[in-house]
Structure 1
């Protein structure tokens, strides 16, 4: 069961106008088609890609910052150096062995 905080802040939300100057993290995640948690982790490591609205307020991004985030996301999986994460291969069925009496 999802917590109340996750339902408020962890789900991407469609912005009123996809071309607006400033967006919240949830709206940015919706536009870039990524999860809010991935975007928050990225913004935690790269502080220059976001701003704050007010004293300790909402995290916001502008158009240039969103373009940079898109480039980072399009570069692929930085952990392995691959252009995109690999799909897991399906499990192979194992043959049952008969037990001797």
Structure 2
């Protein structure tokens, strides 16, 4: 069961206007079609791609920052240079030994 905090802050929500200048993390996640938790982790690693608003420090993004987030996300897996991370495979089952 989801907590009230998750229902309030962890679910992407559609913005009133998708072309508005500033958006919250939840609205940005909805527009970029990603999860809020992924976006928060990404912005923690790249603090230059977001801003803070007000005394409580609400995270907001503007148009240029959303474009940069989308470009970084579309670039692929930075660890290996692949377009997409490789799917993990289950190890092949060993053939059963014939009984002698």
TM-score by length of 2: 0.83
Query: How many corresponding residue pairs?
Result: 100
Give, in whole Å, the separation in 1 of the partners of 2:25 and 2:49: 11
Structure 1 residue 81, shift from structure 2 partner: 2.4
The verdict on how the C-alpha distance between 1:6 and 1:97 changes in structure 2, with shifts beyond 3 A counting, is farther
RMSD, matched Cα: 2.1
Instruction: Give the corresponding residue for 1:13.
Output: 13
Give, in whole Å, the separation in 2 of the partners of 1:54 and 1:43: 18
- Mean Cα displacement is larger for which, 57-66 or 85-94? 85-94
Unaligned runs of 5+ in 1: none
Q: Secondary structure at the match of 1:37?
A: helix
Instruction: Give the corresponding residue for 1:25.
Output: 25
Structure 1 residue 27, shift from structure 2 partner: 0.4
